[in-house]
Structure 1
Amino acid sequence: MSITGRKQGEPLTAPPKPPKPPGQGPKPRKAKPAKKSGGWGRSIAKWGVVTAIWGFLAVLFTVAWFAHDMPDVADAVKFERRPAVTLVAADGAPFHRFGDLRGATVHMEDLPQHLIEAVVATEDRRFWWHFGLDPIGIARAAWTNWRAGRVVQGGSTLTQQLAKNLFLTPDQTIKRKAQEAILALWLEARYSKEQILTAYLNRVYLGAGTFGVDAAARTYFHKPATELNLRESAVIAGLLKAPSRYAPSANPDRARERAEVVLAAMVDAGYLTEAQAKEAMAQGPAVPRRKPGSEGDGRYFAAWVADQVAAFVGSDHGDLLIYTTFDADTQRSAESHIAEILRSKGADSKVSQAAAVVMTPDGAVRALVGGRDWDQSQFNRATQALRQPGSAFKPVVYLAALEAGWREDSVLMDAPYSKGKWNPGNYDGKFRGEISLRDSLAYSVNTSTIRLLEETGVPRSIAMAKRLGLTGNMRNDLSLALGTSETTLLELTGAYATLANDGRAVIPYAILEIRDVNGQLLYQRRGSGAGHAVSGPDVAAMNRLLLAPIAYGTGKSANLGGRMAAGKTGTTQDYKDAWFVGFTADLVAGVWMGNDDGSSMNRVTGGGLPAVLWKEIMLDAHQGLPVRDLPGLTNPHTGPLVAQTQPYPVQDEPTPEGTQRPTQQSDPISDLLRRLTGN
């Protein structure tokens, strides 16, 4: 036996448990309650209620989040727009408008039914049945955009578009779209479908600065919206997709194509039959066709005028009527001739741009063309481009000399000239020896003009330029004689106008009056310029000098036949700029030709294409005007001192600047002038 009291070989076991006290036997097991039927249903219902509550709270929170900074609905009546500025031509006809235009407020019941149907068929076919949002349209747009991989279709309803137009910005953000949906629901709950559609049609932007269908109808079709036909209604409805892209005033082809899409949508929606749609398209163009850059619209003129308005009435103004000096016929002629000469001669001559200005002798601008095509470039080469005028500046030097006592037949020396490293020459490289002031200007001789400036003094010519209205910085050296100081075509033409205006300085202008839409006068032009700049005798002498370039000199191509005209050519170094500026008793005109990048033309001089262009513009502008003499050039006993019907030696081709005059002892012009003036 081991020390544990277990016999050897007995299994090892735990000691027996002590006996339990009486009354402490095993507890009886409780019976499990029976499972109640429908437990899963109640669980689903319970969690459904919980989910609904949390979903409602989430939606409420989302709505509150997007709605907390929505604009005040009361601001919808505060329709802010750019003031409409309407430009009126000299004959009283409006010819251009800037800013935003709102027409009369129209009610849906007063509009043509086909306009309503065109808008609904194109923009929101389920408008009359949805509650402000169109789930079908949203799903269709989402599917289409997903298949395209980009946004190609929208799902907004007309009510949503009105909400955006009334209250929101056009930002494409989730927040803005959510706010748009909230406001659309609010609009549908508060207003009838007719009220919503009426508000939309009176508020929507339709291109060309127009807001509302009535403003668009008056702008594009010159009639109120209540008189639109089916074809015109389709054009208006087509603008809703992209107003600037489909505006018929700018893109008639796109407007026509879009109108066809609208008519097809009306057929698909059941508003029209195929025959009615075809009949509408067969009515002809809904608007007068205008291709980009077409002649006569005067957009360079209009932009120049618009830039001046704030200086007269301030920038904080309402709608305005601007009465101007604009002449549509002259503008149309100038634009047409520029387009034609650049089309036919531009490529061979390496000329890409041209500009023209036509004004009366007192500075009233009748036409202004700042380039060949406004749609391609809005830079105004008549008012903004600073260019060297070349020999077109020489009349300033000669006028200063006349004022200093020189005469038309005073003798100059045409010979090689050198000053330091500067060795200017003549266009043809030839020298004539002694030459009169008249012939020196007629043939635009450089060396004789430089000597004239040297003898009369540079400051005298600079002072004369300032008196004539040239405001640019003048070079205080002898190169001034060759027109090296930059100016604009408008300023240079105005300087020449002084000579056509009996010596009274001219400030070119276009605005006569400015009135508000109620007719109240805000500005009226007064005065007649800057006073006398040149004396009468000097005006007469200078005008006689300026007859010579057209009569037998470098500007023969500008000859107007039996009408007395004075003018001067100008060509800058390397043929970068070519000018012709001249005048009659009735009109003053300036022409510039060149390239925007300053590249050289193909030997184009002022006596070539610019003189031809000037002549064509002036011939058109003088139609119906009687022939009159230039200031100071009428002899009370013999009539005009110089009539261009005299038998001048005229060559078929323009004489390049500086070429030698045909060898002869005298000419009819000089002999006649000497006899009449006693010189």
Structure 2
Amino acid sequence: MEKENPYRQSIFNPPGRSGLLGRVFYFAVYRAMLRYLGPLHRPGALYRSVGILILSGMGVLLFIAGTPADFYRVYATDGYDQPSEIYAIGPDGKYMAISEFLPPGETRRVIYLEDQPDGGDPFDLKVVRSFIATEDNNFTRHPGVDPLGIARAMLVNIQAMNVKEGASTITQQVARLRFLSRDRHIIRKMREAFLALLIEMRHSKSEIMEIYLNTVPLGHGTNGIEAAARFYFDKSYRELDWGEAAVLSAMTTSPSTYSPLKKPEQSRRKVGVVLNRLVQNGDITVREAEEQFRSLTEHFYATLNRSPNDSSFQQRLNLHPYATEYVKAQLPSEFRGRVLMRGGLRIYTTINHQHQQAAEEEMIPHLRRETRRRHRSPFTRFEIFEDDLGPAVRMQELIFPMAPIRRRMTRAERDFFLEFEREFQAESELLNYLSGGTNLSKAYEYLRSTGSRIAEEEQTVEGALISLRPESGAITAVIGGSGFEPRNQLIRVDARRQAGSAFKPLVYSSAIENTGRSDSADFVLTAATLIDDSPVLYVNRDLSEYSPENYSRSYEGLIRLRRGLTLSKNAVAVRTYKNVGPDYINHTVEDLLHLSERSRGQRELPREASVALGSFDVSPLEMARAYATFASNGREVHPYVISHITDAHGRILLDNRPELERRERRQILSPGGAEIITSLLMDVVRQGTGRAAGLPGRSVAGKTGTTNRNNNAWFVGYTPELVTALYIGYDNPRSLGAGATGGGLAAPVWGRYMYKALLGEPANPFRFPGSDVVRVEICEQTGMLPGPGCSNTMVELFLPGTQPTEVNAELEGGSSNEPPPVIKRTDDVFAEDDLGF
């Protein structure tokens, strides 16, 4: 009979005086030990006991290190941060990416390992094999934590008495990159291991490798192998050879220490280590490794043709900065901040790449050019001459027998002279003193003493442009200045300023619509109404005088409204507003500008005649929206720029398209009223102040605008396909100079932009379905039906019931039963109170 083991008795049999809980506990532990270890006297039981204790301790520590939130974080996230992208409509009508959003200092190009062109195994890629050899040889075999790797690292570090080798698997690195900091302490390492186990349960090996290769930092602001491959070698990660792949994988432990740009020697040594590991793993032969290392070493600087201070931030996708920032400003709050920077959003917009590119090509150089024109520096005249006439003059010198025309100083010579004077001012003073020459330093001091005046003159000419489709309201292009700056990229797009005569069509269209459709109006305004174009004088309540003048300072007497708008006569606009009255004008103008009911109390249109001359501050978008109403048959337009938003997997998060299709569009003007104002504005472009905005073969309507003292120059116009509002002016109110008008400054760039933007689109005529206008031949002199003495006639457009029905015989010295409709000059000055203000 076997003798009972006293060790077992003393350890696992509780004393007789033990309580029930103690007896149960000891019995449970004893039975568990017997089940998993067997009798303790058997061989290997002690080692198994130690192993169980270690694993149990690790389990307890992992339980302490882990948190319930870790389960949610691992299972609720997609694995890695993805850049959000903004898409515009490309030349082929399909969406194209124009910009991306990433946290500051990062650049990333997302790759998908499973999407290989040849359908091959992604683990056969050279760059993947290189990272596995460098970081985790057992990646495909361990469950997230590599016990053998930990033991090996411990032995190496103990022998070296230093941390020479890490034991983190690629999965653990993913856990650290995604969820943890880089601090080195035991709790963080335990959480890293715990998260690695969860990640292995959540993702496949291919997915884990994809996450790693998309997030690993590789120096100079690059995150992920695609961004790094593009930055260092200007090729895709699939195209890397073994040596190039080794350069990238060598940087994982410390991108700054092993940067091939900043520390090429350290990088080369580490590349040799990586190639050696690839040989040990059987991925390449010794000969291949030697050839790769030799080739990389011989052409190291040629292959990596970059400055050590270069950053991948310069490679971020941002084709159209103004459009990008405008879209960003329109995003709902739930799609901003971290979600925008890391959420992989796909933001599909109405921005048209062709329109935006045309706007940048025309608007920005035009503004910079106008800035140079207005500088009074003597150098500027030569720069403008060179820009304008330099090529033509050189061509003439070659063709005709003429003496060469020499400029006094080129831009490069000017820059060199000023820089030389700044750097060697003291030396030049001494040289001038010794030689008795001209003291250039005194001239330099004079220039510096007048710095405040020069600084004022060097304020840049700025401006804004915005385009939209009149039928849908889709915004297709936006520009906010002469050069993109993060501080003020949108201030000019949103800023309100006086629009000058570009505001007149809003007043005229409202007056024609409301008096022509009203049974109670005392006076009916038509495009043929005669209005007295002569000086007008106001006496304000404070007894001060206000006398708006025509820009040309010339007056024509009685002229038709159509001609008054074509030539932008201020006296005609003021008398129209005075005689029709704000009751028939203001409300419709507010609807055209879409002033909401909530804001009308704050931005109510003043009841004063200066409104007719554009004294009310408006933004470019508000003006574009008002003119779009003219182009869209009198219906209101709802501008928008975001079509829909999806996540990285294509799931729709926001879709504005159904709402836009369902949204009702109020009829602000009748189709007939819209057709009449469009006809008037077409004359402005054909034969008036807007001739520079004409587009060959296209129907164009628009109006120039010039504010007091030439502070702002506007042109707002449209074709059947596109509406564009554009203004030019200084940020701080200041005159652009004599001759800086809407027709001379804004209309030309508007025309060039629209020509490029609409290139390739069919040219359509204006159409106004449902228009009830009546076309009547009238006498140009009187606006009435032509009589025997009428020398010139034309066809005019009228709302039903407002057309003339009688012949006016004043030209023949006879009489008529119906006098011509006329707004005459008043003999007495009138105060604002006379208008009911």
Shared fold, TM over 0.5: yes
TM-score, normalized by length of structure 1? 0.64
Instruction: Establish whether residue 458 from structure 1 lines up as the match of residue 568 from structure 2.
Output: no
In 2 relative to 1, CA 445–239 (structure 1 residues): closer, same or farther, beyond 3 Å? farther
Taking the aligned partners of 1:138 and 1:408, their CA distance within structure 2 comes to 96
Aligned equivalent of 1:665: none
Partner of 1:418: 538
Q: Which residue of 2 aligns with 1:347?
A: 372
**Aligned twin of 1:358:** 467
Query: Residue 448 of structure 1: which of 552, 555, 572 is its match?
Result: 572
Indicate how the Cα distance of structure 1 residues 515 and 565 shifts in structure 2: closer, same or farther if over 3 A, else same. Answer: same
Matches within 5 A, 1:398-413: 398-403=508-513, 404=515, 405-413=524-532
CA–CA distance in 2 between the matches of 1:239 and 1:459?
A: 74
Q: Structure 1 residues 77 and 221, CA, compared in 2 at 3 Å: closer, same or farther? A: farther
* Cα deviation digits, residues 567-626 of structure 1 (max 9, x gap): 111122333322111011222112122233344323432112211110011111222334
Contact 1:296 1:332 in 2 (8 A): no
Q: 1:611 aligns with which of 747, 750, 754?
A: 747
Moved more, 330-339 or 83-92: 83-92
Asked whether the equivalents of residues 133 and 181 of structure 1 are also in contact (C-alpha less than 8 Å), the reply is no
- Structure 1 unpaired stretches of 5+: 1-63, 122-126, 141-154, 171-175, 247-257, 642-669
Task: Output the CA distance in 2 between the equivalents of 1:371 and 1:319.
Answer: 30
Describe the superposition over 1:127-184 as per-residue Cα deviations: whole angstroms up to 9, x where unpaired: 99966999999999xxxxxxxxxxxxxx9999998675344358xxxxx555798569
> After alignment, is 439-448 or 301-310 more displaced?
301-310
The one-letter code sitting in structure 1 at the alignment partner of 2:683 is: A
Sort the Cα spacing of 1:535 and 1:259 in 2 relative to 1 into closer, same or farther, 3 A. Answer: farther
1:470 aligns with 2:594: yes
3-state DSSP of counterpart to 1:526:
helix
| Cα-to-partner distance string for 1:58-104 (whole Å, 9 max, x where unaligned) | xxxxxx9xx99999765762658878644333322232455568654
Assess, with a 3 A threshold, how the Cα gap between structure 1 residues 291 and 225 changes in structure 2: closer, same or farther: closer
Conserved? CA contact 1:580–1:592, under 8 Å: yes
Equivalent residue, structure 2, for 1:673 = 794
- The 3 A distance-change label for structure 1 pair 213 and 393 is same
Give the whole-Å Cα distance in 1 for the aligned partners of 2:560 and 2:460. Answer: 34
In 2, the alpha carbon distance for the partners of 1:416 and 1:138 equals 97
Assess if the C-alpha contact under 8 Å between 2:70 and 2:195 holds in 1.
no
Aligned to 2:502, what secondary structure does the other structure show? Answer: helix
Q: 1:372 aligned to 2:386?
A: no
Cα deviation, 1:492-528, whole Å, max 9, x if unaligned, reads 1121111111212211223344445345585223147
1:267 maps to 2:268: yes
How far apart, in 2, do the equivalents of 1:240 and 1:347 lie? 50
What CA deviation, in whole Å up to 9, does each residue of 1:402-423 have, x standing for no partner?
Answer: 1123111212223132131251
User: In the alignment, what sits opposite 2:88?
Assistant: 89
SS in 2 for 1:607: helix
**Given the superposition, is the C-alpha separation of residues 674 and 103 from structure 1 closer, same or farther in structure 2, using an over 3 Å criterion?**
same
What is the distance in 1 between the residues matched to 2:462 and 2:614?
Answer: 21
8 Å Cα contact 2:87-2:99 kept in structure 1: no
2:491 pairs with 1:491: no
Q: SS in structure 1 opposite 2:618?
A: coil
Instruction: Determine which of 698, 703, 707 is the counterpart of 1:563.
Output: 698
| Paired letter, 1:610 | A
Equivalent residue letter for 2:580: T
Q: Distance in 1 between matches of 2:254 and 2:495?
A: 34
**What's the TM-score once normalised by structure 2's chain length?**
0.53
Secondary structure of 1:608 counterpart: helix
Q: Paired residue for 2:430?
A: none
Deviation at 1:382, TM superposition (A): 5.9
Distance in 2 (CA, whole Å) between partners of 1:606 and 1:137 is 79
Worse-matched range after superposition: 587-596 or 379-388: 379-388
SS in 1 for 2:464: strand
Tell me the alpha carbon deviations over residues 534-575 of structure 1, each in whole angstroms, 9 at most, x when there is no partner.
112212211121123222322222122342211111122333
What does residue range 227-266 of structure 1 map to in structure 2 within 5 Å?
Answer: 227-228=239-240, 260-261=261-262, 265-266=266-267
Displacement after TM superposition at 1:334 (Å) = 0.9
User: How far has the Cα of 1:307 moved from its partner?
Assistant: 3.9
Structure 1 pair 535/676, CA: closer, same or farther in 2 (3 Å)?
Answer: closer
Contact 1:469 1:491 in 2 (8 A): yes
Deviates more, 1:577-586 or 1:99-108: 99-108
Which residue, 330, 346, 353 being the options, matches 1:328?
Answer: 353
Alignment correspondent of 1:631: 767
SS in 2 for 1:581: strand
Paired residue for 1:546?
681
Please tell me whether residue 112 in structure 1 is matched to residue 135 in structure 2: no
Q: Does the CA contact (< 8 Å) of 2:122 and 2:128 recur in 1?
A: no
> 2:177 maps to what in 1?
165
Q: Who is 2:634 aligned against?
A: 503
Q: Mark the structure with the bigger radius of gyration.
A: 1
The 3 A distance-change label for structure 1 pair 222 and 283 is closer
Q: Which amino acid aligns with 1:393?
A: F
Quote the Cα distance in structure 2 between the aligned partners of 1:189 and 1:511.
Answer: 39
Query: Helix, strand or coil: the match of 2:761?
Result: coil
Contact preservation (8 Å) 1:567, 1:583 = yes
Matched residue, 1:651 = none
> CA separation of 1:352/1:236 partners in 2, compared to 1, >3 Å: closer, same or farther?
farther
Letter matched to residue 537 of structure 2:
Y
Classify 1:275/1:498 alpha carbon distance in 2 versus 1 (closer, same or farther; 3 Å).
same
Residue by residue over 1:285-342, the C-alpha shift from the partner in whole angstroms, topping out at 9 and shown as x without a partner, is 99xx999899992333233334444389999997554443222111111111122212
Q: How many aligned residue pairs are there? A: 544
Deviation at 1:229, TM superposition (A): 5.9
Query: Residues 206 and 260 (structure 1 numbering): CA distance in 2 closer, same or farther, change over 3 Å?
Result: closer
When residues 455 and 441 of structure 1 are mapped into structure 2, their CA distance, relative to the original with a 3 A threshold, is: same
- Post-superposition CA distance 1:326-361 (Å, at most 9, x none): 221111111111222123332224643232222222
1:578 aligns with 713
- Alpha-carbon distance change, 470 to 263 in structure 1, aligned in 2, over 3 angstroms: farther
- The partner residue of 2:496 within 386, 404, 408 is 386
Residues in 2 aligned to 1:417 and 1:226: alpha-carbon distance in whole angstroms: 78
Q: Which runs of 5+ in 2 are unaligned?
A: 1-60, 103-108, 115-120, 136-148, 276-291, 375-458, 516-523, 778-790, 805-837
3-state secondary structure, aligned to 1:451: helix
Distance in 2 between the 1:583 and 1:137 partners? 77
- CA shift at 1:395, angstroms? 0.6
8 A Cα contact 2:323 2:478, kept in partner: yes
Q: Which amino acid aligns with 1:302?
A: T
1:436 maps to 2:560 = yes
For the residues of structure 2 that align with 1:397 and 1:507, how far apart are their CA atoms? Answer: 21
Paired-residue identity, %: 27
Residue 326 of structure 1: SS of its match in structure 2?
Answer: strand
Tell me: CA distance 1:293–1:83, structure 2 relative to 1, closer, same or farther (3 Å). closer
Secondary structure of 2:749's counterpart equals: helix
- 3-state DSSP of counterpart to 1:89: strand
Any conservation in 2 of the 1:263–1:277 contact (CA below 8 Å)?
Answer: no
